[in-house]
Amino acid sequence: MVVVGAGMAGVQCAVALREGGWRGPVSLVGAEPHRPYDRPPLSKDVLLGKLEHTAFDLDFEQLGVELLTGRRATPLEPGVLHTDAGPLPHEHLVLATGAAPIRLPGAAGERVLRTVHDALALRDALGPTARLVQVGAGWIGAECASAARLLGCEVTVLEAAGAPLAGALPAELTAPMERWYAEAGVELRLGTAVAAVEPDGVLLADGGRVPADEVLVGIGARPDTGWLAGSGVALEASGAVLVDAALRTSLPGVLAAGDCVSYPSARFGERVTVQHWDHALHSGRAAAASLLGTGGGYDPVPYFWSQQFGRMVQYAGRHAGGDRLVWRGSPREPAWTALWLRGEGVLVAALTVDRPRDLAQARRLIDQGVVLDPGRAADPAVALKSAL
């Protein structure tokens, strides 16, 4: 058994295999030289200097997992995973190589935040006098801008779209989030495309320039699957690995999990690619269950969270399937919830700001496919579980 990718998905797959009684050898292959670690704290506690590392508290030797770090996967052929440190024959293989950050075309000198090395290097570069330009007002952009302001930096966020999180949420939800930037002292410039990163700042598409000591690019990520070209593993146009409900790829004996997969969701009636911690954790364990013969199909309620500008933002479900937006509370208030309903009132997604109880209940209700009373659901004084 070889698991390639030593992030959350790969680690959870290897651990779950041993917990489930897998008796054969298990090798966990990671491209980075570090022991496997957790990524969400990189843009929060690591960047703020509260943590130096986020390594998983696991004894791989005791678990019987051979940890092979500093090995980058190269072309795959049947029964052999090639790496830059030599070939690894296998009977079973799990692909869990995650996603790689999208970079600006032709840019040089910009930073990204994906690895612990990225986080530590950025932290060393930021300080009370630093001018940071953040390209992209997505989830990671908001988190990094938040941390940089806490470090005392002057922060400008450049977003090509007309709203923050434009590709993730509808305008009625992103509009109140614009205020968060201003309240934190962050300059948010919307509709501002970047042409190039220069030694002393950023050149804009309209010819303007924004001075900066550091430029951080956070404009999304793509499945890290380029190394699978010619392997016979079927990929989507996005690069995501096509898997079935058991997370099996088009090659016999090869499964995939985590940020690099596209799986079929009967719950939402479409293929889904998710690049978040919760999916990595559960899909890694689901891949192990499929290999152990104990899996029941992978189709969870997607979930993620983001800590930004002193707020906890949580999301569950997929709002693309909803045709009615219901507010619980007002976005002008410190805490609020947005619900998406479909048809007669089936809850398909929820976004909460500092309302963790709403999110926990919504996640269960989405999983159950319940119908809500829109009037009662809109009343923040009524528990969601009581708004059926």
> What CATH number does the domain containing 71 carry?
3.50.50.60
> Where a domain ends, among 232, 264, 292?
292
Q: Say if residues 76 and 226 touch (Cβ distance below 8 Å).
A: no
109 in a structural domain: no
Q: Say if residues 46 and 37 touch (Cβ distance below 8 Å).
A: no
Shared-domain flag, residues 127 and 180: yes
pLDDT in tens, 88-134: 999 999 999 999 999 887 767 789 999 999 999 999 999 898 999 99
End-to-end CA distance of the chain: 46
What angle, 0 to 180 degrees and rounded to 10, lies between the N-to-C axes of helices 171-183 and 139-150? 10
Domain that residue 380 falls in: 310-386
Shared-domain flag, residues 9 and 90: yes
In the block, residue with structure tokens 């995973």: 81
Shared-domain flag, residues 127 and 207: yes
CA distance 47 to 43: 6
Q: What 3-state DSSP class applies to 235?
A: strand
Q: What is the DSSP string of 257-289?
A: -GGGEEEEETTTTEEE---SHHHHHHHHHHHHH
What b-and-e string marks burial along 245-257, b requiring 16 or more CB atoms within 10 Å of the CB? bbbbbebeebbbb
Q: What is the pTM of this model?
A: 0.94
Name the residue type at position 51: L
50 in a structural domain: yes
H helices, E strands: number in the chain: 8, 25
Shared-domain flag, residues 96 and 235: yes
Shared-domain flag, residues 287 and 316: no
298 in a structural domain: no
CA distance 58 to 63: 8
Q: What per-residue confidence (pLDDT) applies to 107? A: 67
Shared-domain flag, residues 281 and 326: no
Q: What per-residue confidence (pLDDT) applies to 102? A: 92
Alpha-carbon separation of residue 303 from 87, 313, 315 (angstroms) = 36, 11, 6
How many domains does the chain divide into?
A: 3
> What CATH number does the domain containing 374 carry?
3.30.390.30
Q: What 3-state DSSP class applies to 216?
A: strand
Shared-domain flag, residues 272 and 332: no
280 in a structural domain: yes
263 in a structural domain: yes
Closest CA to 9 of 224, 289, 302, 284: 284
Spans of the chain below 70 pLDDT: 107
Shared-domain flag, residues 270 and 134: no
- The torsion of the CA quartet 134, 137, 142, 146, rounded to 10 degrees, works out to 40
303 in a structural domain: no
> Where a domain ends, among 184, 217, 250?
217
Shared-domain flag, residues 267 and 356: no
Shared-domain flag, residues 12 and 93: yes
